[in-house]
Structure 1
Amino acid sequence: FNLRSMKQRFKSDDAAADAGTHRETLNAEQIDAMAEQLNVKRSEVIEMETRLSGGDVMLDPAPSDDGEQAFGPIAYLTDTNHEPTAVIESRQRDTMATDGIATALGTLDDRSRRIVEERWLKVNDDNSGGMTLHDLADEYGVSAERIRQIEVAAMKKMKKALAAYA
Structure 2
Amino acid sequence: MSNNIKIPSVALIPQGNIESYLRMINTYPMLSAEEEKALGEKLYYHDDVDAARQLILSHLRFVAHVARGYSGYGLPQADLIQEGNIGLMKAVRRFNPEMGVRLVSFAVHWIKAEIHEYVLKNWRIVKVATTKAQRKLFFNLRKSKQRLGWFSHDEVGIVADELGVTRKDVLEMESRMSAQDMSFDIDNDDDDNSIVAPALYLEDSSSDFSKSIENDNWENDATDKLHDALSQLDQRSQDIIKARWLDVDDSKSTLQELATKYNVSAERVRQLEKNALQKLRVAIEA
Question: TM-score if structure 1 supplies the norm length?
Answer: 0.60
Q: How many residues align?
A: 139
Structure number with greater CO (CA < 8 Å, separation at least 6) is 1
User: Does residue 89 in structure 1 map to residue 211 in structure 2?
Assistant: no
1:142 deviates by 2.6
* Correspondence for 1:27: none
Deviation per CA, 1:107-131, whole angstroms, max 9, x where unpaired? Answer: 323322221022122234xxx2353
Kept in 2: contact 1:60–1:72 (CA 8 A): yes
- Structure 1 residues 43 and 102: alpha-carbon distance in aligned structure 2, compared to 1, 3 A threshold: same
State which of 118, 142, 165 in structure 2 corresponds to 1:48.
118
Following superposition of structure 1 onto structure 2, how do residues 4-153 of structure 1 map, counting pairs within 5 Å?
A: 6=64, 9-10=68-69, 17=72, 23=74, 37-39=85-87, 40=110, 42-50=112-120, 51-52=122-123, 56-63=181-188, 65=190, 71-74=196-199, 75-76=201-202, 83-97=209-223, 99-124=224-249, 128-153=250-275
Q: Deviations over 1:17-63 (max 9, x none)?
A: 5xxxx728xxxxxxxx9976553553331121231466653112225
TM-score by length of 2: 0.38
SS of the equivalent of 1:76 reads coil
Query: Given that residues 96 and 162 in structure 1 are in contact (C-alpha distance below 8 angstroms), is that contact kept between their aligned partners in structure 2?
Result: yes
Q: Which runs of 5+ in 1 are unaligned?
A: 25-32
Percentage of pairs with the same residue? 27
Higher helix share: 2
Structure 2 equivalent of residue 29 of structure 1: none
Report the aligned-residue RMSD: 3.9
Partner residue, 1:154: 276
CA distance in 2, matches of 1:71, 1:142: 72
